[in-house]
Structure 1
Amino acid sequence: MKTRIIIADDHPVVIQGVKDILEKNGAFDVMATFRDGKSLLQSPLLARVDVLLLDLNMPDIDGLQTLDKLRKLGASFKIIVITSYLSPLLAEQCKAAGVHGYLVKSDDLYLLVKRIQDVLAGESVFPDFSQSDQPTGTDFSYFDEFLKKYKLTKREVEIVRMVCNDYSSKEIADKLCLSTFTIQTHRRNIIRKLGLDDSKIALYRFAVDNGVI
């Protein structure tokens, strides 16, 4: 019996590339593809799938939000995240959300078949970040030019970093000795200033692209 696969990614080229690799192998049945988390979560096919290949950066409901909803639904299938972000932080968040594998799109996607087989065999497949020479962003300095460009305050950049490190508004408020209401106001202002949709992945992408984390 073929392994039943669902692909969720907002890039049609990625979807087609992954689909081609799996279908050429012959051991997989790509049941459906989705380009956003909302339509994925509404699909009755989730009740029959063996492996979900999930991108994190999707519209409407992003990958992390999708993982949270799947966990609450008690999803029993295997989940492998395929993302552009080589990030220990995101990988840990995904692992905590019940993900079985974390693959980076810049890697050779022809390894995908082996990774799926490993996950089906009960293994956990995550990158060895100790071997990565990618900068972590921990040396970021609050350059005046950066702050002026995005009209951010130092406090707002601090909050961006804490949100990306998975702190809740209450936890941020406690650490900064502010009210939860104040932190939520800051977060709304940050999203408005940056012109982002209100998702952690959008904020994370901004933070990575600008060296904030």
Structure 2
Amino acid sequence: MTCNLLLVDDHSLIRAGVRALVLDIPGYAVVGEANDGAQLLELVEALAPDIVLLDLSMKHTGGLEALRRLKARRPQSKVLILSMHTDPDLIMQTLESGAHGYLLKDTTATELEQALAALRNNERYLSPAIAHTVINQALHLARNTPPPRHSLTARQLEILRLIVRGKSTREIANGLNLSIKTVEAHRSQIMKRLQIFDVAGLVLFAVREQIISLDD
């Protein structure tokens, strides 16, 4: 089944470049393009895209505000931020506002394909170039946040470490010699037990509980 994408960027050349990259990836189709947040909301309702590739720096309605409106209007559409910004506060805001992934604009075609595949499989994706930034920001926030109570098993903690490090379900399954369904079950149980359902929250929890360190 084809995965339908909507491109949102106020620079036509950027959209053309991303569209060309997407069209080289089997199983994806660009069904529409928007040049600002207002047009995005119109097209989302008309086209019902599976994934929205969203720039943060746009005229009129900015990307962050557009993201919040999009998630309120059509929460089932997954959002992959495509931005040149590496500011940790901004990245955390996008993740907390419902973005499923964050990719830098100087990314490679291979990384774009990996990010799209992750979102298509109901996973999240952080560009490796900013993963350390997110962990640092989570560590900073953790200093003023009381630790939650939890009862994760040793296996769940092991899988949580791999999730936070950006490993896909398939990579975790292969590395631990488990089935994909088993890993998915563990992932679901982890999120339910922690009551954390986004990657930013999982990173914050993992850093605060010293499940991972900045050296990871």
Amino acid at match of 1:117: A
Q: Could you report, residue by residue, the CA deviation over 1:72-95 in whole angstroms, capped at 9, with x for unpaired residues? A: 224211100000101221111011
Name the structure 2 match of 1:13: 13
**Structure 1's 44 and 130: CA in aligned 2 closer, same or farther, altered over 3 A?**
closer
Question: Equivalent residues in 2 for 1:97-108 (5 A)?
Answer: 97-108=97-108
Which secondary structure does the structure 2 equivalent of 1:14 belong to?
Answer: helix
- Tell me the TM-score normalized by structure 1: 0.57
- Tell me the TM-score normalized by structure 2: 0.57
Name the structure 1 match of 2:96: 96
Name the structure 2 match of 1:125: 125
State the identity as a percent: 25
The CA RMSD over aligned residues, in Å, is 2.0
Greater Rg by CA: 1
Measure the CA separation in 1 of the matches of 2:61 and 2:81. 15
Amino acid at match of 1:69: R
- Is it true that 1:111 corresponds to 2:128 in the alignment? no
**Structure 1's 30 and 22: CA in aligned 2 closer, same or farther, altered over 3 A?**
same
**How many residues were matched structurally?**
133
Name the structure 1 match of 2:204: none
**Structure 1's 65 and 122: CA in aligned 2 closer, same or farther, altered over 3 A?**
same
TM-fit CA distance, 1:127: 3.5
TM-fit CA distance, 1:122: 2.3
Structure 1: gaps of 5 or more residues: 137-213
Question: Equivalent residues in 2 for 1:188-207 (5 A)?
Answer: none
Amino acid at match of 1:20: A
Structure 1: 4+ residue segments shifted above 3 A: 44-47, 127-132
TM-fit CA distance, 1:27: 1.3
Bigger shift: 46-55 or 98-107?
A: 46-55
Measure the CA separation in 2 of the matches of 1:119 and 1:89. 22
Question: Equivalent residues in 2 for 1:31-110 (5 A)?
Answer: 31-43=31-43, 45=45, 48-110=48-110
Q: Could you report, residue by residue, the CA deviation over 1:51-99 in whole angstroms, capped at 9, with x for unpaired residues? A: 0000001111110110121222242111000001012211110111110
Amino acid at match of 2:107: D
Measure the CA separation in 2 of the matches of 1:92 and 1:111. 20
**Structure 1's 110 and 16: CA in aligned 2 closer, same or farther, altered over 3 A?**
farther
| Contact preservation (8 Å) 1:3, 1:50 | yes
TM-fit CA distance, 1:131: 4.4
| Contact preservation (8 Å) 2:9, 2:15 | yes
**Structure 1's 21 and 2: CA in aligned 2 closer, same or farther, altered over 3 A?**
same
Structure 2: gaps of 5 or more residues: 138-216
Bigger shift: 3-12 or 119-128?
A: 119-128
Which secondary structure does the structure 1 equivalent of 2:107 belong to?
Answer: coil
| Contact preservation (8 Å) 1:9, 1:36 | yes
Q: Could you report, residue by residue, the CA deviation over 1:160-183 in whole angstroms, capped at 9, with x for unpaired residues? A: xxxxxxxxxxxxxxxxxxxxxxxx
